[in-house]
Each structure stands twice: as C-alpha cells, then as structure tokens.
Amino acid sequence: MKVALFQQIARQIDRRLRLINLDVVPEKWITDCEEKLEKLETLLPSGSGIDSGTKINLEDSKPNMIILDSSYHVMADGYYTHWIDFEVIVLPSLSFPFMLDIDAAWDDGNDDIQDHLYQTYEMNLSEELEAI
C-alpha cells in the first residue's frame, strides 16, 4: 500500500512518542521505530543547494507537527557564498494534504530560494511510497 512520505513520517513520530510514554516497553520497539525514521529521512531532499541533507527533528516534532532541519548553500556569481539554516514545519490541513512553513533568517532577494524550497519539500513530502 502506498502512503505519502509526510504521513509515514508522522505515523512513526506518533508511534515513537507513544512508546516512549509507556511505563514498560521493549527497547527494540523504540529502536525499530527510530530505524524506520532513519530510512524515511534518507528519502528527504538532499542536493540542489540542500547540500547537507534534511534531518527529522525528533525533539520538537509531534504527531501533528513534523519539524525538519536543513541548510541551503547559497551561490552568487558562480561561487558558494554562505549557508542559510532553515526549518521546515509540516502541519495538517483540512483543505490540503498539509501546510508548509519554512522558517529561516532570509537574506534580501532570496525569494527564488524560498520558492525553490517550498516546491522541493511539497513535492517530496507528497510523494506516495510503499509503506516502510
């Protein structure tokens, strides 16, 4: 059965938090969940400016809010000039599959980078894959 990437991530975050909150739980269940999250993490955007990949922030993510951490390698005049660290916040929506917010300390004139990131993460997280 195919399930969108964002849903698979949210389900594993929910599962992990539920397991952590139980009084007695086999450690292998939590480890299994974290291994699945690591596999899902490898499917997140990497490259095309997102040169350090994307990490799932397990400390701040919740079942109804996924937090992804990454950086964008900015180019100017054919040279890499600096990095912009950013956070992708994925929230549920009643009108759309999900809502995205990308939080960063943007430089002036980085609208094209922001548009690129929104499109990249929206397409990536919407992709339907076989359930892990």
In tens digits, what is the pLDDT along the chain, a chain of 132 residues? 899 999 999 999 999 999 998 888 888 999 999 999 999 999 999 998 999 999 999 999 998 999 999 999 998 888 988 999 999 999 999 899 999 999 998 877 778 899 999 999 999 999 999 998
Strand partners, 91: 99
Distance in angstroms (rounded) separating the CA atoms of residues 113 and 50 = 11
The token duo for 32 is 């299994």
Judge if pTM exceeds 0.75.
Answer: yes
Provide the number of structural domains found in the chain: 1
Alpha-helical segments (H) within 1-132: 5-20, 27-41, 111-126
Query: What range does the domain containing 72 cover?
Result: 2-130
Distance CA 96, CA 105 (A): 27
What is the token pair recorded at 60?
């701040």
- Name the one residue in this structure whose structure tokens are 């004139």: 109
